[in-house]
Amino acid sequence: MSTDAPAYRSPWLKRPGAVEAEGADAGVAAHYGDPAREQRELEAGRALVDLSHRGVVTLSGPDRLTWLDSISSQAIAALQPGDSAETLILDPHGHIEHAARLIDDGESTWLLLDAAQVEPLMAWLLRMRFMMRVEIDDRSADVATLGLLAEPGTLGVEPAMGAGLPLVWRDPWPSVVSGGWQYAGDEHPAGSFDYREVLVPRSALAATDAPAAGVLALEALRIAAWRPRFANEVDERSIPHELDWLRTAVHLSKGCYRGQETVAKVHNLGHPPRRLVMLHLDGSDAILPRRGDAVMLDDRAIGEVTSVGRHHELGPVALAVVKRSADPAATLTVVTEEGSVAAGQEVIVPPGAGATAQVQRVPRLGAATRPSRPTA
């Protein structure tokens, strides 16, 4: 007899027209029958996205912020009650192991996570706690996450409370945070992505009757905003520079933390080996690639698709991670099981990203260094 826990299924899957998502978003609705309309309603702030399959972990205790600051990429030691942030956990070589969205209520720090992160991140945090005054708890059974592009009150949502504060995370992605860096050009689409995640009591989820949009709607808007997601864009080789994640998740002048040497070296002296691009896909054959499909330049594989969506204005779009050396002006091809799809690139991380340090030129050995003769 199997002892596996039953797969999570949101009560919102009982709503009319609900079609369950696959992969990392299984358990909630991909859409409710009209993805394009749902996307427009979400963008206009008139719909919620069910993200109740995701996880929530809390850190409590007086050392929580300074401790998390010391082991992650963002400067959060001075995070104030009600503030939002995001941070990355890196391995010693600078590869991304975890990404967390943060809300602090003055007594606890709430970490909003993709579901698959909860168990391994908690295990790692417990190993790293040592003698610090920090308690770590999985709160996924108590609170559920909803996504929206509006203030929660406009949709009649009552957030869960933490130490008397509403638990609402506001995405910092629309602008570069203090200590961050943007590799993308000045024309960045993030300014219109005024995204939030609100925590609600899980017991109240079924009774929430606000208009709903599926995760396909959110994914299309996220792709158009060039916004990386841990569950999609990150693999075992990813470093923050490749995804332009220095914008909001990394502080370049904070103290040491695991992986900091790689972050500094690549940013100041080197170049990230890969780069994030947005692909505008040829929709004439109605073929939509899937995550993991190969991206080709001529007959060479140069990367793979990480996220795919149908945007209500841009049409079929995708994010992909490709080799840094790939010609940014070239038309690419995505190879799918149904056939090949032509794709035009929109540069997010340019090939020249990194190497920002102005290194002073050192005189050649043996070069003349006598002071010039004074003039009369």
pLDDT attached to residue 130: 87
Same domain, 189 and 327: no
pLDDT attached to residue 6: 63
Q: With bands split at pLDDT 50, 70 and 90, how would you rate the model's confidence at 284?
A: confident
CB 350, CB 183: distance < 8 Å: yes
Same domain, 322 and 200: no
Q: With bands split at pLDDT 50, 70 and 90, how would you rate the model's confidence at 1?
A: very low
pLDDT digits (tens, 9 = 90+) for 173-223: 999 999 999 999 888 999 999 999 999 999 999 999 999 999 999 999 999
> Domain range spanning residue 60?
11-247
pLDDT attached to residue 45: 97
Asked if residue 210 is part of any domain, the answer here is: yes
pLDDT attached to residue 360: 46
% of the chain with per-residue pLDDT over 90: 89
pLDDT digits (tens, 9 = 90+) for 85-127: 999 999 999 999 999 999 999 999 999 999 999 999 999 999 9
On whether the pTM is more than 0.85, the answer is yes
Same domain, 146 and 22: yes
Asked if residue 285 is part of any domain, the answer here is: yes
With a cut of 60, say whether residue 300 has pLDDT above it.
Answer: yes
Same domain, 230 and 290: no
pLDDT attached to residue 322: 98
- CATH code of 306's domain: 2.40.30.110
Same domain, 308 and 166: no
Dist. CA 277–CA 319, nearest whole Å: 6
pLDDT digits (tens, 9 = 90+) for 317-330: 999 999 999 999 99
Asked if residue 375 is part of any domain, the answer here is: no
Asked if residue 63 is part of any domain, the answer here is: yes
Same domain, 182 and 327: no
Q: Residue 235: beta bridge partners?
A: none
Asked if residue 1 is part of any domain, the answer here is: no
Asked if residue 261 is part of any domain, the answer here is: no
CB 30, CB 194: distance < 8 Å: no
Number of domains in the chain: 2
With a cut of 90, say whether residue 366 has pLDDT above it.
Answer: no
Closest CA to 217 of 62, 28, 74: 28
Asked if residue 290 is part of any domain, the answer here is: yes
Average pLDDT estimate for 32-53: 98
Same domain, 310 and 215: no
pLDDT digits (tens, 9 = 90+) for 62-83: 999 999 999 999 999 999 999 9
pLDDT attached to residue 46: 97
DSSP 8-state symbol, 121: H
Closest CA to 168 of 134, 139, 145: 145
Same domain, 196 and 286: no
Q: With bands split at pLDDT 50, 70 and 90, how would you rate the model's confidence at 369?
A: very low
Report CA torsion sign: 248, 250, 253, 255: positive
Asked if residue 364 is part of any domain, the answer here is: no
pLDDT attached to residue 328: 95
pLDDT attached to residue 187: 87
With a cut of 60, say whether residue 230 has pLDDT above it.
Answer: yes
Kindly report each contact of residues 201-206 with a partner whose C-beta sits within 8 Å and lies 24 or more positions away, as own/partner: 201/142, 201/143, 201/144, 201/160, 202/52, 202/141, 202/142, 202/143, 202/144, 204/158, 205/10, 205/11, 205/12, 205/52, 205/144, 206/11, 206/12
DSSP 8-state symbol, 68: H
Structure tokens at 136: 């770590």
Same domain, 72 and 108: yes
Structure tokens at 325: 């050396």
Same domain, 302 and 241: no
Higher per-residue confidence, 125 vs 357: 125
Same domain, 90 and 238: yes
- CATH code of 150's domain: 3.30.1360.120
Same domain, 101 and 48: yes
